[in-house]
């Protein structure tokens, strides 16, 4: 059984979804491909053609990370235009969207109406009222390292539905097993059952896990 790393930037790591860099050659395992909102001004149409092609790859299981970021110095309208194009691509490929969102949750909830595929907010570490709102709108949430330290977040994870949850390292270096143990403990589950539930959740990606 593997500790599936839902979103990470560690090329070559097995059991997880690698976030492919723009123009990068894919690894052997699963990956996601998309434009981070940081790239809203920098991406070229040529790169978008690359994304359209690479997203057909059988190991490309999701579009992303993509989304909206209120802390970067790029107009909302410009970020939203790129986000919308990626939602349309995800609909076309029928692959879920891995979302990067900073301070733009109500907008992301609004954009969800355009998506015909599941949306997963990665690296979630925000307040309970935001999380409740996302939960009400049927988002999946992926939690990372913050759960190990943030007591409020721990309290939230405790009550968040296990069938809507993923765990990830993102770009951090730490032992993912510790996060699985922490979440299992919070939810009063044993780690094996948590792993099994997350494998079950991964069915939204139409991927079969190599055991």
Q: Kindly list the residues in this chain that would bind Zn ion in the complex (CB under 5 A).
A: 170
For Zn ion, the closer of residues 99 and 153 by Cβ is 99
Write the DSSP symbol of residue 170: B
The least CB distance from residue 123 to Zn ion, in Å, is: 7
Q: Is 168 within 8 Å of 7 (Cβ atoms)?
A: yes
Q: Which residue is nearest to Zn ion (CB)?
A: 170
* Angular region, 94: left φ>0, alpha ψ -120 to 50, beta rest: left
The least CB distance from residue 21 to Zn ion, in Å, is: 11
Q: How crowded is residue 20: how many other Cβ atoms within 10 Å of its Cβ?
A: 22
The least CB distance from residue 179 to Zn ion, in Å, is: 15
The least CB distance from residue 13 to Zn ion, in Å, is: 13
Sign of the CA dihedral with 136 first, then 137, 139, and 143 last: negative
For Zn ion, the closer of residues 80 and 168 by Cβ is 168
For Zn ion, the closer of residues 5 and 170 by Cβ is 170
The least CB distance from residue 70 to Zn ion, in Å, is: 17
The answer for residues whose C-beta is within 8 angstroms of residue 168's C-beta and 6 or more apart is 5, 6, 7, 8, 16, 122, 123, 142, 143, 144, 176
For Zn ion, the closer of residues 99 and 198 by Cβ is 99
For Zn ion, the closer of residues 10 and 92 by Cβ is 10
For Zn ion, the closer of residues 32 and 55 by Cβ is 32
Q: 62 in helix, strand or coil? A: strand
The answer for residues whose C-beta is within 8 angstroms of residue 92's C-beta and 6 or more apart is none
Element housing 65 (H / E) = strand 60-69
The least CB distance from residue 7 to Zn ion, in Å, is: 6
Residue 179 C-alpha from the chain's centroid: 16
């Amino acid at each position: 059984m593997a500790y599936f790393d839902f979103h990470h930037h560690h090329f070559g790591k097995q059991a997880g979804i690698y976030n492919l860099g723009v123009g990068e050659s894919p690894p052997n395992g699963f990956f996601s491909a998309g434009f981070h909102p940081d790239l809203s001004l920098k991406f070229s149409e040529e790169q978008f053609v690359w994304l359209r092609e690479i997203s057909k790859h059988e190991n490309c299981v999701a579009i992303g990370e993509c989304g909206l970021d209120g802390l970067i110095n790029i107009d909302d309208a410009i970020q939203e235009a790129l986000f919308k194009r990626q939602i349309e691509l995800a609909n076309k490929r029928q692959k879920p969207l891995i979302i990067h969102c900073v301070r733009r949750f109500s907008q992301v909830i609004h954009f969800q109406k355009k998506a015909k595929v599941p949306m997963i907010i990665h690296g979630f570490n925000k307040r309970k009222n935001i999380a409740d709102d996302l939960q009400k709108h049927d988002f999946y949430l992926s939690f990372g390292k913050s759960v190990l330290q943030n007591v409020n977040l721990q309290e939230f994870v405790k009550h968040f539905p296990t069938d809507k949850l993923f765990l990830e390292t993102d770009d951090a270096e730490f032992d993912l097993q510790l996060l699985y143990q922490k979440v299992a403990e919070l939810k009063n589950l044993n780690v094996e059952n948590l792993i099994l539930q997350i494998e079950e959740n991964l069915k939204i990606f139409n991927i079969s896990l190599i055991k």
